[in-house]
Chains A and B, each alone.
Chain A
Amino acid sequence: MSNSILQYSSITKKIVMALVGLFLLMFLLVHLAVNSFLIFDPSRALFNEGAHFMATNPLIQSMQYFLFGGFILHIILGLILQIQNWLARPVRYKIEGWSHTSPFSKFMIHTGIIIFIFLLIHFINFFFVAKFGEVPVFADTEMEDMGLLVIQVFKIPGYVAFYVVALILLAFHLHHAFQSAFQSLGMNHSKYTPFIKGLSTVLSVVISLGFIAITLVIFFSSRYQA
């Protein structure tokens, strides 16, 4: 498989990168919606209901494989593209970077790597615990109390600090990524591109601030007890 990816042309790689990236963005929006249940209902019932649905619905469960595949493909392609880009300029300039460029576009690999590290830690804290660990049962139901697990983790100051930093970097990543995906797919139009660029800013801010706000509310509010 890796051999055939290497043989993809530069544009094919960028098109796949864009399509997978847009798919991953859908996942972020769904994730944010489910997380927001904890704010709407501090008793955790709504969130646990949501988490239970996500963990048991066959359609969602089958999409999980596409999600993992998507992450892996996005990361592998991103690394291949970046390594090719580094190799394309073996001798660097003495003075560089004075050309006007769009913000954040030059740091996609850096923000990407930190988001990847965050993803690994996030996985260990939640996904593996839910899949293989012991999660207590919620009240008088058969649902696992995932809400309690989230609140426990979001009461750890060090974790919350790292979470906030990672999500700010995610905003930088998305700010460039969303509008750039349309360019990779060949969609650049004098009428619609300004709207897509605006939407890119809105999406990155909403997603990042949304996750951060939920975390900070749980961290500071006494309504949430671990």
Chain B
Amino acid sequence: MDFTLKIWRQKDAKTRGSFQTYKVTDISSDSSFLEMLDILNESLVLKGEMPINFDNDCREGICGACSLYVNGRPHGPDTEITICQVHMRKFKNVGTIVIEPWRSKAFPVLSDLMIDRSAFDKIIQAGGYISASTGGVPDANAILIRKEKADESMDAAACIGCGACVAACKNASAMLFVSAKVSHLALLPQGQVEAKRRVQMMVAEMDGQGFGNCTNTGACEAECPKGIKLTYIARMNREFIAGKMGAQKMDL
């Protein structure tokens, strides 16, 4: 398969970037999207040019490192999958592929297609944890949890923090990410100790990092590679109301 690629090139965080056009030929339809970029990078190195920087790690859809905005969609044309797992056969009859980094004030571009997602780490640091006693290992089933709650919590915990929700949202809002993290802990008894405080701290940090607000367009849900649902945003809003009403006044 032959493709024309338009790729965002940016030397570093301070330099202005621009789109560069590359041609790739003889790409196997069974190669993955990132392998196609690897092939392009090898040819660039052979020509003495700088290879294209892009984040990737596990290449099996669980680490959340890959973050490419391909032809107007985070993680490319397929649904519920990260771009590392998309094969080039998905681009049949697509002549030109435009690859951009996630665009958000809170995710500054570091180089080419690589962005700084430490804003997400800051949100987790603000409250995405539980208090656990040290000491001996507790019995596995000492705390009973309803199956439905456990399932719902597990579905929220599937979030890999890739930031596709922010990338897809017209407001660059991180509501889906934060709601998944808030819900995953709020649904379990172990998460109750900090529940009221957690949601307020994480939302305050989210706002402080410069993410936009939720307009409930549903773009995040449509693009989430892990299928996180909008219902978690409603759950976070409920948790937030309960937290605001019930918690002591906090200096956020």
Contacts and interface: CB of A to CB of B under 8 A. Distances in A.
Contacts of A89: 103-105, 170-172, 212
Contact of A88 (B212, B236, B239): B212
A127 B223 CA distance: 47
Contact of B168 (A11, A91, A99): A99
Contact of B71 (A12, A98, A183): A98
Interface in B168-184: 168, 170-173, 175
A10 interface: yes
B31 interface: no
A4 to B, nearest CB: 14
Given A95-B71, A99-B223, A10 B203 contact: yes
Interface centre among B173, B207, B216 (most CB of A within 10 A): B216
Nearest to A98: B72
A84 interface: yes
B237 A15 contact: yes
Interface string A78-115: 00010011011111111111111110011010000000
B45 interface: no
Contacts of A108: 215
A183 B219 contact: no
A44 interface: no
A95 to B, nearest CB: 4
Interface of B: 6, 19, 69, 71-74, 98, 100, 103-106, 109, 168, 170-173, 175, 200, 203-204, 206-207, 210-219, 222-223, 230-231, 233-241, 244, 252
26 contacts: A9-B204, A11-B237, A14-B213, A85-B170, A85-B171, A88-B104, A88-B211, A88-B212, A93-B69, A94-B6, A95-B100, A96-B170, A98-B71, A98-B73, A99-B223, A102-B217, A105-B216, A105-B218, A176-B216, A180-B215, A183-B230, A184-B214, A185-B237, A187-B234, A188-B230, A188-B233
Contact of B215 (A15, A106, A188): A106
A15 B213 contact: no
Contacts of A52: none
Contacts of B235: 186, 188
Contacts of B168: 99
Interface residues of A, number: 38
Interface string A141-185: 000000000000000000000000000000000001000100111
A95 B241 CA distance: 37
A142 to B, nearest CB: 48
Contacts of A91: 103, 109
A85 B219 CA distance: 15
Nearest to B79: A100
A121 B175 CA distance: 37
B207 A88 contact: no
A74 B6 CA distance: 42
A59 to B, nearest CB: 29
Nearest to B72: A98
Given A186-B234, A188-B231, A188-B234, A99 B222 contact: yes
A90 B240 CA distance: 28
Given A93-B72, A186-B237, A12 B213 contact: no
Contacts of A13: 213
A158 B222 CA distance: 42
B230 A88 contact: no
The 4 closest A-B pairs by CB, nearest first: A98-B72, A186-B238, A188-B234, A88-B212
B130 to A, nearest CB: 22
Contacts of A188: 230-231, 233-235
A3 B6 CA distance: 44
